[in-house]
Amino acid sequence: MTVINPVITTTLAGKASTIASAMMLLFSASTVAAASDDNEQQKIAAGKSIFAQYGIDDDLPKLGVSSLVQGGHLVEHVTRTVTYRDKVHQSTVYLVKNTDRKGNIDLRIKYDENALDEQEDLIEQIENATRTQYRLRHWAQSYDPTSVEAITDANGNVSVSFNYSKYGLPQDIAYFRFLSVKVDIVNGKPQKMVISNRRPFKLDGTNVEQYNQHISFDTLSNGKLIIDEKYIEMTGTKKGKPIKIVETVEPVAFYDDTAEVEIIDHQRLTEVSDPRFREEQVEVNRTFPLLGDMVRQQGIDLPLPFGLSMSYRNQDMSLPTNDFIIGGVRLNDFFDPNDTFADVTAEAMTLRGDINILPFWNMFGYIGKINVDANVDASYTGEAGQIIKDKLNDALPGVGDKFCEGVSVLCNKARLNVPLQLEYDLVGVGTTLSVGYKQFFASVTATYSMTRMEGNTNWGDGLITVQPMLGYQLADYRAQIFVGAEYQGLDNRMQGHVVAGDIEFDYDVGVDLNNWAYLVGFNKQFGKNYNLTVLYNKGETRNAFTLNFGYRF
C-alpha cells in the first residue's frame, strides 16, 4: 500500500528556528524599498550621529554583554554570589584570554578549588557564557540606533540612552532586548554605563524581576577605554523561591601584540600565576555551520548547529476511487469506482536528527513508525449476482430468479465496507534552504522517504515531498508564524497484501487525489535549546495536524 506519509511536515519543526534566524545575506535592503524603510534609515543615521558626536564607540554597548570584547589578551577576576533558599553560595575564578593572529581564542578558567562553592557549577556557567561572548566578537548591531537619545544637563554633562537591538541577538542572551542603557559622558568621555530591565524575563531557569548592571570605565596609558568594574545584580524567583545573584568582573591585566603590558592589579596577577591553581579550557570554536562567522558579522543570530526532535502527526484523507483490482482481476463491473471512497487515517511518531551545514542549509534524517487505519466504502453493483442469475436461467429457466430471491444480497446493489489496519516502518532524509530579510523569511524543504510494512523485508517505492514557505518572525517573543504549501508526490494507487484468517489476497485500488495542500504553522523557542512547533495542513483530499518538540545543541 502506498502510505500517505505523515512525517513530511515535521521537517518544518526542527528547522523553524533555522529558517527564521538565518535571515541571510542573499536579500539586500534594496529588495524592500519603501517609505517606511527610508524613515527607519533616517532614525538609524540620527542615532549613530549621536554616538559619533559624543565620542561613543559603536562597540561600547557590547561591553554590557561581554567584557571579553575589550581585548585580545587579558586576565579578569570574576566573583559570583548566589543567595537562594536562605543559603549564600560564593565562588571566585580568573579568566585568561589569548587570541592568535587568525582570531582564534584560547580561553582558560583558572581557580583555587577552595574558592568554588560545591553547590554551584560556576565553571559550566562561565563556559556557556563565554561561548556566547565569543560569538559576539563580530556582533554588527548590538544596539538599536533608532532608540538613541541624548540629554545635556546644566553643567554640560551628557547622558546618552538607548535600547539593545532586538535583531541578531543570540538566543543565549535574547533577554537583552528587554534592557535599557544610559551612558554618562563627562568631559567628552564615557564614565559610567547603567543597564536595567524594562520588563521581567527568564534566564537559565530564573524568573528575573529586577536586573541592574553598573559599569565604570577607566582609560589606559595608551588611551584605550576599559572596564574598571562591572557589577551585575539580579533578583527574582527560581522554582517559586526568592533568589539574588550578584556578579562582579574586574580587570587584572591587559596585553597587546607587542611587548606592552598594562597591569591593573599586581596582587591578583601574582595569585593567578600560582601553579597550584586548577585550569579548565573553554572550547569556543565550532565547526558548524560553515561560514557561520561571516553571517554573525552581519548581526544575524544562528541557532545551535545540531538538533534532535520528536514529532507526532495525524493525517486524514478521503479519496474517491477510479479502479479496482483484487487478486490480479479488475472488478470495475462489480464495484462502481465512481461511487466508492477510501478513507485513510495515518498516525506517525518520528525521531529526527539534523545539522546546519551552512547558515542557510540544513540536512536531516528521520526514522519512525506509522499506523494506518483505512476503510474502503465500496458501491457493489450486483453485477456478479446478475451474471450467475443469467447463467442459471439459460441452463434451466426460472432457477436463476429463485437463486436471486434466496441470495438477494448478491444480486442487488449494496454498499460494502472493507477495513484495513496496517503498520509501517519509516526512514527518510531531507534538506532545507532558506533566505530572509529582517523579520521576513522564505524557505523550501525537500524530503525523500520510504516505508516498509511490518513483517516485510522489502522497502516500498520512495516518496518525494516539497514544502515552499513564507514566514514572519516575532523577534520580541522568539516565535515564528508561517504559511505555505505542501506537495506530496503520492502514487495514485493504493496497493498492498491482506491476510485475514484463511483469506489472503493482493489489492490494487486507483484513487483520485490532489498532491497539494495549504500549510500554516507556529513555532516558539524556549531559551537557546528548546522549541515547540504546531502545524496544520488543509487540502482538497487531506488534512493533517503535527506537533513537534525539538532540542538543539
> Where do the domains of the chain lie, and which CATH numbers do they carry?
10-21+304-381+411-546 (2.40.128), 29-296 (no CATH)
pLDDT for 460 equals 82
Name the DSSP class of 5.
-
For the entire predicted model, the pTM comes to: 0.60
Closest CA to 494 of 157, 42, 2: 2
User: Amino acid identity, residue 273?
Assistant: S
DSSP annotation string for 25-83: TTS-GGGG--HHHHHHHHHHHHHHHHHHHTT--TTGGGGGT-GGGG-SEEEEEEEEEEE
> Measuring CA to CA, how many Å separate 201 from each of 66, 147, 235, 479?
19, 20, 11, 15
Distance from C-alpha of 217 to C-alpha of 383, rounded to nearest angstrom: 95
Per DSSP, the three-state class of 456 is coil
What b/e readout covers 171-208, taking b as 16+ CB neighbours within 10 angstroms? Answer: bbbbbbbbbebebbbeeeebeebbbebeeebebeebeb
Distance from C-alpha of 69 to C-alpha of 11, rounded to nearest angstrom: 37
pLDDT for 129 equals 66
Closest CA to 8 of 420, 368, 424: 368
pLDDT for 78 equals 93
What b/e readout covers 382-405, taking b as 16+ CB neighbours within 10 angstroms? Answer: bbebbebbeebbeeeeeebeebbe
Closest CA to 436 of 304, 302, 530: 302
User: Amino acid identity, residue 161?
Assistant: S
Q: What is the pLDDT along the chain (553 residues), one digit of tens a residue?
A: 444 444 443 444 444 444 333 333 333 333 334 445 667 678 778 888 998 888 888 888 888 887 877 888 999 999 999 999 889 999 999 999 988 887 777 888 999 988 888 766 767 777 766 666 666 555 556 788 889 999 988 887 899 999 988 766 666 677 888 899 999 998 888 999 999 999 999 887 899 999 999 999 998 888 888 999 999 999 999 999 999 999 999 999 999 877 689 999 999 999 999 999 999 887 766 677 887 766 655 555 677 889 999 999 999 988 777 777 777 778 777 777 777 777 889 999 999 999 999 989 999 999 999 999 988 787 777 777 778 778 878 888 887 787 778 777 678 887 777 787 889 999 999 999 998 887 899 999 999 999 998 878 888 888 999 999 999 988 778 899 999 999 998 777 767 666 655 666 677 777 777 889 999 999 998 877 899 999 999 998 899 999 999 999 8
Closest CA to 284 of 70, 64, 133, 98: 133
Residues 353, 358, 359, 363: is their CA dihedral positive or negative? negative
Name the DSSP class of 143.
B
pLDDT for 19 equals 37
Q: Residue 5's CB: how many other CB atoms inside 10 A?
A: 26
Q: How is residue 121 written as a grid cell?
A: 557549577
- Phi and psi at 48, nearest 5°, equal -65, -35
Residues 194, 199, 200, 203: is their CA dihedral positive or negative? negative
Distance from C-alpha of 385 to C-alpha of 412, rounded to nearest angstrom: 7
> Measuring CA to CA, how many Å separate 438 from each of 175, 299, 359, 468, 475?
19, 11, 15, 19, 10
Per DSSP, the three-state class of 139 is coil
Long-range CB contacts for residues 40-45, cutoff 8 Å, separation at least 24: 40/146, 43/145, 43/146, 44/145, 44/146, 45/145
What b/e readout covers 63-86, taking b as 16+ CB neighbours within 10 angstroms? Answer: bbbbbbbbbbebbbbbebbbebee
pLDDT for 23 equals 34
